[in-house]
Amino acid sequence: MVSKRRFAIAGIAITLTAAGALVAKTRAQGNSDPLVKISALESKLASLEHEIELLEDNKAVRRLQRAYGYYADKKLSGEIRELFAENATAEIGGLGVFVGRQRIGQLYDFLLGGKLENGQLFNHMILQGVVHVAPDGNTAEGRWRALIQIGQADESATWMEGPYENEYVKEDGVWKISKLHWYQTLAAPYDPGWAYAQIPMDGPSEALPPDRPPTEVYRSYPGAYLPAYHYDNPVSGRKSGGGP
């Protein structure tokens, strides 16, 4: 009797062990245990949430930079100032680097000179965005170009053009400009145009000295200058402008 019972107990133990092994095996395969399935789904969801956030971030950065242009059109320097992060930098043409939102506000007041008055044209078309959001979704970089039409009615009409290499930061879910750098390619009077005339780029102004000197010293058109790209060649992956 005793032996029989012992065998029976041993038999139960073996059966339990086998069942446990089977369960473990099935769990590892992940094809029937609901817990494994839901865990896999949850991790896919997390990756989709991150992906959709990066798409939204890219759109938000484009919106920010385009809104900047519409404000510049109308000389709304107060609105522009608000688009910058507290410790941002701004560098426009050869004027040098302005550090912090307050100094940046002064720079735009200086450049825009109060609200748009009758007789003034200040068009800033913001075009051709190449925007890269960092994989963590906290910062971004963007190359853009401004096509600018400045006018004083019946007195002057001027073309300007050049690229930006800007940086952005997301603070409390809101994208802001953390670094703005506009390179002047060209300034020329509309008449007779850029084949016959050019307006040289200004250096730092005595009326509004910058916090730091220009980061790059160059001559605008007809000078040839290559503002560095923040991105590699999107097809070859080689450094942009790296030559043969």
Partner 1 sequence: MKTRATLLAATLCAGAMLAPDSGAHAQQDLEARIAAARSRLAAIEQRAARVDDVDQIENLQRSYGYYVDKMLWEDVLDLFTDDATMEIGLSGVYVGKDSIRKYLYSLSGGREGPLEGVLFNHMQLQPVVTVADDGASAKGRWRALILTGTYGEGSGGNWGEGPYENEYVKEDGVWKISKLHWYATYFVPYEGGWLHSSTEAVRAYSEGHGVTPDRPPSEDYAPYPAAFVPPFHYPNPVTGR
Q: How far is the CB of 62 from partner 1 (least distance, A)?
A: 8
Q: Which one-letter DSSP state was computed for residue 238?
A: P
Q: How far is the CB of 51 from partner 1 (least distance, A)?
A: 9
Site string for partner 1, 70-109 (x = CB under 8 A): x--xx-x--x--xx--------------------------
Structural tokens at position 134:
């960092």
Task: Provide the pairing of β-strand 174-182 with 84-92.
Answer: parallel
Task: Report how far residue 19's alpha carbon sits from residue 121's, in angstroms, rounded to the nearest whole number.
Answer: 82
Q: Is 191 in the site for partner 1 (CB under 8 A)?
A: yes
Q: Are 164 and 146 in contact (CB under 8 A)?
A: yes
Report how far Cα 88 is from the mean position of its chain's Cα atoms. 13
DSSP string, 112-124: H-SSPPTTEEEEE
Find, among 105, 85, 102, 239, the residue nearest to 168 by Cα.
85
Selected range binding partner 1 among 34-42, 133-141, 195-203, 204-212, rule: CB under 8 A: 34-42
Q: Is 121 in the site for partner 1 (CB under 8 A)?
A: yes
Positions touching partner 1 (CB under 8 A) are 2, 5, 9, 12, 34-35, 38, 41-42, 45, 48-49, 52, 55-56, 59-60, 63-64, 66-67, 69-70, 73-74, 76, 79, 82-83, 115-121, 123, 125-127, 147, 149, 151, 153-157, 174-176, 190-191
